[in-house]
Structure 1
């Protein structure tokens, strides 16, 4: 009787899971790449939907960026990731960035906002956008970078009101991250090709 009880199936260890069960629960590499990644404050970025909460975003401008890769079009995002950018005279675009989707983003820290009032980040982005709806666009003096600089000045980001197009260009170059390898290639490949053509032509004329 003891032997019968010892051989009872109830006392045996549970059988291993059928083959393939573990594979179902493990995400594939493609699924991992598409998964949104978290930002500060519990917000999430979603590259596919062009959602970059608390970010400054940048994208190449055709022809101009081909010759000067550090120059491009800039916008600033709300706390939910909606892009606002000074796209032309008296026009600030919302959720439809001029010159295409962002190629690069610079993640900012909402804890570095020193302006008072509820939701100071979004208030500053809104007020800067309303101001630039009444301004003429100037490529060299008052442009998309100036719009972003005004938003950062209004919110006193990093306890500063000295943001301008030069500092933004420098910090975006220093801290900005490309959204993908393709975005990096799109930015720099035309410049490399043009540089190669210029060098080749120069060598041909110098060797004559």
Structure 2
């Protein structure tokens, strides 16, 4: 057998193997398609897509969709964060990642973080850090009416979402005050319900928790949080000098001092 014949034979064998693999791949896909069709032949494609998102992606952090499952979330406040960058607005998230935050009198925002996109977050390991029986959420895959109906039917259980539901219902009857009942009060209340790290949470240690352990969503989020403070402080020093620094120090001591005193010395002043 000459060289050309050998090359032709090898080429035929290679082509045959490729065709065999291709045919096997098609057969596998057809089997999977038939299997899926048999299992869910009446499932609407759009409904299936929503179910897939709810069950497979529900526990993944997705900043673009504002989904932070089992997280405490934080964003800077206008004006106040420009002067004191570690003070901001906080919320806590359901198991499906939807943000809940106390944003005004008798009003808890759902899936609409009051002061903009999340810049920092802390994800909580509920099995490890919560001293309660945190079962699977009853919410994933439900709409809001079904979520509320579960409560009406008494399906409370010891779940993460049920604890947050109770906290939300309580704060829907609270007046809002920056100094006595604010977003930090709401988060502290829910952390205590969850038994997070044995409880004992208040507005001060919630703020410290975010400051020390909070993860940045992105570099842009960090700039969004600190750049206004740098700019305001820079202009303040240029045009105000020592007067501005004195005002800034006084404002910081006054605001931070109030929360420390009201939390640890006058415990009835701040609602939780």
Q: What TM-score results when the alignment is normalised by the length of structure 1?
A: 0.78
C-alpha distance in structure 2 between counterparts of 1:12 and 1:173, whole Å: 67
Q: Deviations over 1:105-134 (max 9, x none)?
A: 111111122113644211111111111001
Q: How far has the Cα of 1:175 moved from its partner?
A: 1.1
Rg comparison, structure with higher value: 2
Work out which of the residue numbers 114, 126, 147 in structure 1 matches 2:186: 147
Name the counterpart of 1:50.
Answer: 66
User: Corresponding residue for 1:87?
Assistant: 103
Cross-structure match for 1:113: 130
Instruction: Tell me what 2:94 maps to.
Output: 78
Where does residue 6 of structure 2 map in the other structure?
6
Q: How far has the Cα of 1:171 moved from its partner?
A: 0.9
Between the aligned partners of 1:59 and 1:104, the Cα distance in structure 2 is 7
What's the counterpart of residue 175 of structure 1? 213
Using the TM superposition, give the Cα deviation of residue 161 of structure 1 relative to its aligned residue in structure 2, in angstroms: 1.9
1:162 to partner: Cα distance: 0.1
1:192: how far off? Answer: 0.6
SS of the aligned residue for 1:56 comes to strand
SS class of match (1:86): strand
- Structure 2 contact 58–69 (Cα < 8 Å) conserved: no
Q: Does 1:133 find its partner at 2:149?
A: no
Residues 113 and 121 of structure 1 are in contact (CA less than 8 Å); yes or no, is this contact kept in structure 2? no
Q: Which residue of 1 aligns with 2:79?
A: 63
Unaligned runs of 5+ in 1: 16-40
User: Which residue does 1:37 correspond to in 2?
Assistant: none
Equivalent residue number for residue 188 of structure 1: 226
More strand by proportion, 1 or 2? 1
The residue aligned with 1:197 is: 235
Rounded to whole Å, the distance in 2 between the matches of 1:59 and 1:133 is 22
In 1: Cα distance, 2:83 partner to 2:187 partner: 23
Q: Distance in 2 between matches of 1:42 and 1:201?
A: 50
Whole-Å separation in 1 of the counterparts to 2:90 and 2:9: 68
SS of the counterpart of 1:75? strand
Structure having the larger proportion of residues in helix: 2
**Alpha-carbon shift at residue 201 of structure 1 (Å):** 2.6
CA distance in 1, matches of 2:76, 2:166: 26
Preserved contact between residue 126 and residue 134 of structure 2 (Cα < 8 Å): no
Q: 1:75 to 1:204 in 2, by over 3 A?
A: closer
> Structure 1 residue 42: deviation in Å?
7.8
C-alpha contact 1:70 1:173 (8 A) present in aligned 2: yes
Give the SS at the match of 1:136: coil
Counterpart-to-counterpart distance in 2, 1:141 and 1:66: 21
Return the alpha-carbon distance in structure 2 between the equivalents of residues 72 and 195 of structure 1: 17
